[in-house]
Structures are given as structure tokens and as C-alpha cells.
Amino acid sequence: MQLDRAQLAALAAILRHGSFDRAAAELGITQSAVSQRLRALEERIGTPLIRRGPPARATEAGAQLARHADEIALLEAQTLQRMNLAPGAARVRLAVNADSLATWMPAALARAQDAMPGTSFEVEVDDQDHSARWLREGQVSGAITSEGANLLGCDALPLGALRYRATASPGYMARHLPEGATAEALARAPMLSFNDKDGLQGLWLQTHFGPGLRPPTHRLPSTEGFVLAAEAGLGWGLNPEVLMAPGLASGRLVELIPDTPHDTPLFWQVSRLMAPGLAPLTRAIRDAARSFLIAG
């Protein structure tokens, strides 16, 4: 079976923008033409590829075909570059945990961009314990994840560990933990959590106090907001060391228990099929990680 490039481009554009009209604007065709191309591709594959929205979302088959279209575009762009011809546009979809995206990952992407002209990065944000799901489902070509075992069809490259520290404001400590961080006090003291997938605070509690503590929890899905909330006294939480270092230095933050860092190992999982085309990105990620993460 041969796949039609124009039909694949229509599918990828719909998923990129979440709508048929914006996909039509990107491709320079009518919305009706976009619908016709998608319908023809679905008939050829024999299964729905889009869950109509808004926004339009991919089925499992649609996600894999959209990734295939992006991978073809990347390989073509790099072939043209090697021939000293102007590369075409390409897109690489990645899954990255929010704390890496807020700290060291942008430098890696910027360095990779220099070696991959014409390439745009599309980043999906997920917890490091769950970002591998995007690779398993065929929705991305690479992921920053805490999963070190090779996923099917992928290579896992160790990067180092992102260091966290459990911190709160002095005012919070005086109000909720006046006798220090004890199990009894922490069971009642408000805690911060990024979202329902965030298990860092629970791991830290279990490490130092054993299982069973379930404090009242504020959910704040923002890395920067997490730090600000801790400084404001809303709750305590684990923040990447580099982000809360200014707060510690100025006295706006203190550690719940001094010198108790929590290190989270990170890995770059990359599709073996796309590894040659993504080699510049892999080099940039490993270089940035060596400069920022804790060596394993």
C-alpha cells in the first residue's frame, strides 16, 4: 500500500491545529479539500483517523500516520540539506516533562535547531513518569522520561538526574511546622502538587517518614507557579534546585529538612527508526544534560 503525501499532510495539519479550517489555511487549500483528502485517506486505511472536535484529535491509527508524515518530512529535509539544497519544512514531536522544559531543555532545542534548519519542534508536556506513553502510542519520536528500560523500537539513553529540594516559605514553616518537619505536622500541612500524576512529594514523604501520609493538597500545573506558591506560603513542594536557588539564597524559601535532595533520573528515549535523523537533537540533549543535570 502506498500512502498519498497530500493526504498525509492534510491529516498532520488537522492534528497540528485541531481544526479543518486552520489546516486549510496552512495548506493553502479549501476546507472542503482538506475534508476530501482526510476522507480518502481514511477509506484507504479502512479506519477513522480523526475524532471530530472541537478540537480535532487523533485516533491511535491517526497519531501513528501523522508521526509517519512528520518523519518523512524530516528525512527529506535532511537529505536536501546534505545536497546543499534548501531544506523543506519538517516537524519533530516530542514529549518532555514540565520541569525539564522550564530549565535545561530549551537550550538543547535551540542548539539542535542550528543543526536542523527548517525543523520545528512540537512539545507535549507530561510528567516524567508518564511521558513514555506518548512514544508507546506512536504520537512522538522522542521523549524525556524517567523510564530507563528500552521501549519497543526505541533506545533509552541516560542523561543524569534532575535535583529537587523540598521547600517552603519561613512564614509557612512558622505557621504549619513550628516544631520542624514531623510526620504528625506534615499530615496536616498543605502540600503542593503539579497534577494528579505528580508523585514527587509522595516519594519524598515516604523516603523520610514512611508510607501513609496524605496531606491536604493544592494542585498547580505550572512549574513557575509552583515556586511562587511556595514562596507565598501556600504550601510546601519539591522544586528543581536551579529554580528555587534564588529563593533559598534570599531567605524567601527554606528546606523542610536541610540537605535532603531528591534526584530524579532522566532518560532520552528515541525511536530507532528516527535515530539517524534525530542525531543532532540527541547530541544537543546529551550536551545540555551534561551541563545541567546531576551525573548518574
pLDDT, tens digit, 9 for 90 and up, residues 166-192: 999 999 999 999 999 999 999 999 999
**Mean pLDDT computed over 13-19:** 84
Task: Quote the cell numbers at residue 163.
Answer: 535535583
Q: Write down the pLDDT at residue 105.
A: 96
Q: For residue range 196-243, what is the model confidence (pLDDT) as tens digits?
A: 888 999 999 999 999 989 999 999 998 889 999 999 999 999 999 999
Contact assessment for residue 64 and residue 48, using Cβ atoms and an 8 Å cutoff: no
Task: Quote the cell numbers at residue 36.
Answer: 476530501
Q: Write down the pLDDT at residue 93.
A: 86
Please, what is the average pLDDT of the chain? 89
> Coil, strand or helix: which one is 106?
helix
Q: Write down the pLDDT at residue 293.
A: 96
**Mean pLDDT computed over 252-260:** 96
Q: Is the pLDDT of residue 37 over 60?
A: yes
Q: Write down the pLDDT at residue 1.
A: 63
- Say how far apart CA 244 and CA 163 lie, in whole Å: 11
Q: Cell numbers 518532555 label which residue?
A: 96
Q: For the beta carbon of residue 273, count every other beta carbon within 10 angstroms.
A: 14
Q: For residue range 83-142, what is the model confidence (pLDDT) as tens digits?
A: 555 656 778 889 999 999 999 999 999 999 888 877 889 898 888 777 888 888 777 889
Percent of the chain's residues with pLDDT above 70: 95
CA distances from 192 to 196, 220, 233, 234, 246 (A): 11, 7, 10, 8, 19
Task: Quote the cell numbers at residue 58.
Answer: 487523533
**Mean pLDDT computed over 251-273:** 93
- Say how far apart CA 237 and CA 250 lie, in whole Å: 18
- Say how far apart CA 148 and CA 76 lie, in whole Å: 31
Of 58-62, 110-114, 245-249, the range with the lowest mean pLDDT is 58-62
